[in-house]
């Protein structure tokens, strides 16, 4: 079999219960539902953090964020504009691995792993990049009352203009976010067409459904679930455009498409993590268990469902094998090759003896899962996720044997990765990237009149929402 093309569609703050094939009755997602019917759905898929930047660090490197020093931002739970830290230039990403195997590599959308030179997508294996370097809420017009939770250095001045980047340069200021998904989708289609005769990798990191919401009118007029549902349905539309393009070009059979999200929903404005407990920024299941669909007609049997524990950290080692190369062997990689589970092989099982849940900002290990059991270390609560997916019935007092076993796994993790709660630093972590004198990508006080005029841009895009 030829090296497969690989597309990762990565949403922002999409909840476990936000799409039809994972239980939503208010958001219409026919494309994603069909994608699940034609591929495999993972019900116990995890990301390694309940917030944006650390989760994306885990996806890109195949490691727990704490392993690579990015389990939080500089002085906030995620990276902020002009933070002095980011993904270390020496880290090896999925894009680096696939590029070494002859893939053309493209990133679209939200990066959020550092906005300084050395931290950007084109510094980490991507041939080209078009998108926002951080969250879509860091824009110049954001109301002052929405900034009060941010560090003092950030909340005392107005936001600088949001930069839309082309490769490592600012291309536009304050792009109309209503049209960004459409523009990203057109870029994805153009890249796929240009590279249809060679293996390619597309990492499409949506701005949806992170707040503030900017749904296109075409979807808002039809959505039953308000602006939130409109954005979910726009994500579905975008996936449909991409899948239709693959079929039109005759490369559908040998293209692996993965759909998932960076962390759980805030469960506000129409979002849902049902039937899970908790939200984004928590280590309850609703913060870190995500919907995940994989479709590859030539290799993944249709209609599959896996209840085995897998993670976004598994993408790097798995994709390395699919591309015919090895994952890095000069460093610890926490992810695993999950091809047997993807391909529905008999008796395929999760490669995880344990999966660990780290909290945000406090750098502490908060929970561990092994098999069906999940132990919350701070609260001293134990749940059987097989029979109690919503974490409602604590059996800590009734199963001391399980508590002792999972506590030992947690101790080993603390030694390996560290835990601020116990003061253990961790024996096998790597440094985060750092720069001196970081500067914002955009600064109103330094901009000329001509640069300011970039606010007025043309939002006309070639692809029609109706396809």
Beta strands at 433-434 and 85-86: parallel, antiparallel or unpaired:
antiparallel
The mean-pLDDT minimum among 20-34, 177-191, 380-394, 453-467 falls in 453-467
Domain 5-352+437-455 homologous superfamily, CATH = Alkaline Phosphatase, subunit A (3.40.720.10)
Q: What pLDDT is attached to residue 53?
A: 97
Q: What is the pLDDT of residues 7-66, one digit of tens each?
A: 999 999 999 999 999 999 999 999 999 999 999 999 999 999 999 999 999 999 999 999
- Give residue 422's pLDDT band: very low, low, confident or very high (50, 70, 90): confident
Span 241-257, mean pLDDT?
98
The residues that are catalytic are 52, 112
Asked whether the predicted pLDDT for residue 146 surpasses 80, the reply is: no
Q: Domain boundaries in the chain?
A: 5-352+437-455, 355-434
CATH class of 355-434: alpha beta
Mean pLDDT of 358-380: 92
Each residue's pLDDT tens digit, 373-382: 999 999 999 9
Share of the chain above pLDDT 70, in %: 90
Q: Is pLDDT at 383 greater than 60 in this prediction? A: yes
- Between CA 396 and CA 388 the distance in angstroms is 13
pLDDT of residue 460: 40
* Residues 272/279, Cβ–Cβ less than 8 Å: no
Query: Does pLDDT of 419 surpass 60?
Result: yes
Q: What angle do CA 433, 437, 443 make, to 5 degrees?
A: 110
pLDDT in tens, 69-79: 999 999 889 99
Q: Look at strands 310-311 and 255-261 and give their pairing.
A: unpaired
Give the model's pLDDT for residue 421: 83
pLDDT confidence tier of residue 364, bands split at 50, 70 and 90: very high
Q: Give the 3-state secondary structure of 282-333.
A: CCCHHHHEEEEEEECCCCCCCCEEECCCEEHHHHHHHHHHHCCCCCCCCCCC
Q: Starting from the edge strand earliest in sequence, which strands make up the sheet with 365-370, in order?
A: 355-358, 365-370, 373-376, 381-384
Helix axis angle for 52-61 and 315-322, nearest 10°, is 30
273: CB partners within 8 A, 6+ apart: 15, 16, 17, 264, 265, 267, 279, 285, 286, 287
Share of the chain above pLDDT 90, in %: 86
Q: What would the two tokens of residue 318 be?
A: 């798995």
Which of the four pLDDT bands, split at 50, 70 and 90, describes residue 420?
confident
């Amino acid at each position: 079999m030829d090296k497969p093309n690989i597309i990762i569609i990565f949403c922002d703050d999409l909840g476990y219960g936000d799409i039809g094939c994972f239980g939503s009755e208010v958001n219409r997602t026919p494309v994603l539902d069909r994608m699940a019917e034609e591929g495999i759905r993972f019900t116990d898929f995890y990301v390694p953090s309940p917030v944006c930047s650390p989760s994306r660090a885990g996806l890109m490197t195949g490691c727990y964020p704490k392993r690579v020093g990015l389990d939080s931002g500089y002085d906030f739970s995620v990276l902020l504009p002009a933070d002095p830290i980011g993904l270390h230039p020496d880290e090896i990403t999925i894009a680096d691995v696939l590029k070494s195997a002859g893939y053309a590599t493209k990133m679209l959308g939200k990066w959020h792993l550092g906005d300084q030179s050395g931290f950007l997508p084109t510094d980490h294996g991507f041939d080209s990049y078009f998108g926002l370097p951080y969250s879509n809420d860091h824009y110049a017009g954001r109301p002052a009352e929405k900034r009060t939770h941010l560090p003092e250095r950030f909340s005392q001045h107005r936001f600088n203009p949001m930069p839309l980047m082309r490769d490592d340069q600012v291309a536009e200021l304050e792009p109309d976010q209503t049209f960004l998904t459409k523009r990203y989708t057109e870029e994805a289609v153009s890249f796929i067409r240009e590279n249809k005769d060679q293996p390619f990798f597309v990492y499409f990191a949506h701005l949806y459904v992170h707040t503030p919401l900017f749904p296109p009118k075409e979807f808002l007029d039809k959505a039953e679930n308000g602006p939130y549902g409109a954005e979910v349905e726009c994500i579905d539309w975008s996936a449909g455009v991409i899948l239709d393009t693959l079929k039109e070009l005759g490369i559908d059979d040998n293209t692996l498409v993965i759909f998932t999200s960076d962390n759980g929903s805030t469960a506000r404005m129409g979002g849902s993590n049902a039937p899970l407990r908790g939200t984004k920024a928590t280590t309850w299941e609703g913060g870190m268990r995500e919907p995940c669909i994989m479709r590859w007609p030539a290799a993944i049997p249709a209609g599959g469902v896996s209840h085995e524990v897998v993670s976004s950290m598994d993408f790097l080692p798995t994709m390395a094998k699919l591309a015919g190369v090895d994952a890095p062997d000069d460093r610890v990689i926490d992810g695993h090759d999950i091809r047997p589970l993807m391909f529905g092989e008999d008796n395929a099982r999760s490669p995880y003896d344990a999966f660990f849940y780290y909290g945000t900002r406090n750098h502490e290990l908060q929970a561990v899962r092994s098999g069906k059991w999940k132990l919350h270390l701070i609260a001293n609560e134990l749940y059987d996720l097989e029979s109690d997916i919503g974490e409602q019935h604590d059996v800590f007092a009734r199963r001391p044997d399980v508590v002792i076993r999972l506590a030992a796994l947690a101790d080993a993790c603390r030694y390996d990765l560290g835990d601020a709660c116990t003061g253990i630093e961790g024996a096998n972590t790597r440094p985060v990237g750092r720069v001196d004198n970081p500067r914002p990508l955009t600064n109103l006080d330094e901009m000329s009149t001509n640069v300011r005029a970039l606010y007025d841009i043309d939002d006309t895009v070639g692809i029609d929402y109706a396809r």
